[in-house]
Amino acid sequence: MRRDMRHTSIMGVLNVTPDSFSDGGRWTDPEAAVAHARTLLAQGADLVDVGGESTRPGSTRPSEQEELERVLPVVSALAAEGCAVSIDTMRAPVAEAALQAGAVLVNDVSGGLGDPAMGELVAATGARYVVMHWRGLLSDPAARHHYDDVVQEVCRELGDRVEALLGQGVRQEQLVLDPGFGFSKDAAHNWQLLAGLDRVVALGLPVLVGTSRKRFLGRLAPQAHQAPEGEPSPPADRDAATAATSLLAAQAGAWAVRVHEVPPTRDALVVWRMTQEADDAR
């Protein structure tokens, strides 16, 4: 069944970190970060996701105070301009401060496992909350890549997190699911998850898809001349592939897609919308 993706939102990524895998260090200055957020919005982003901690493999966690110092000036400035802001954090105190500064959504890659206080905070504030599939920090050997059926297991583990959060008083209408592309998953798992994304959507909650510039998009068939042990293409060269996965996500029923570069995804979604409208008019 064809889905109308006109309501699939675009979340623009704003990393205010020195070490993110894709654009670390570019937006650490608050004024530069706010200017970039304005660009993302002008290009078609519906909300901006501000993050002060890198989750790339091998990254060192900042202190809570350092994370606060990175994100709060940016969140406050954007909220004051009327921008819809989400805060990308695993820490309840950072989420709380960002919500008080005007953020409207908490994007937690740990799904509440990184800070036991997160569920209670979200319940108390009533904020929208993204629950990502997570098996631990990427630097943690316990965050294993083994799956017998990656789609089934991701769905089950997300369901477990939803039940736990509901038990903490979070309302179902606050929750958004994220299958966690690239987190405790190898390339084959990511492709299988993308192919089975409709099963995640079928869980009945809004779904956020974040494939943008992920490593598995750096090894595509046209690059088959590269040696298997060679490095994938640079992150900034993966935006066309990101747009393709954004379109597939929208087709599967995703609520939103999270991207670093807005125009390619915006254009991909507009092309599909215009094709649908032309088909409907026949």
CA distance 242 to 151: 20
CA distance 63 to 65: 5
Task: Examine the residue annotation and report whether 61 is marked as an active-site residue of this protein.
Answer: no
Active-site residue (options: 128, 161, 213, 214): 214
Contact in structure between 248 and 197 (CB atoms under 8 Å): yes
CA distance 156 to 249: 20
Task: Examine the residue annotation and report whether 185 is marked as an active-site residue of this protein.
Answer: no
Kindly report each contact of residues 66-70 with a partner whose C-beta sits within 8 Å and lies 24 or more positions away, as own/partner: 67/91, 67/94, 68/93, 68/94, 68/97, 70/16, 70/17, 70/28
Angle at 263 between CA 247 and CA 276, to 5 degrees: 40
Active-site residue (options: 70, 161, 185, 258): 258
Q: Which residues does residue 87 pair with via DSSP β-bridges, in sequence order?
A: 50, 106
Contact in structure between 95 and 117 (CB atoms under 8 Å): no
Active site residues: 214, 258
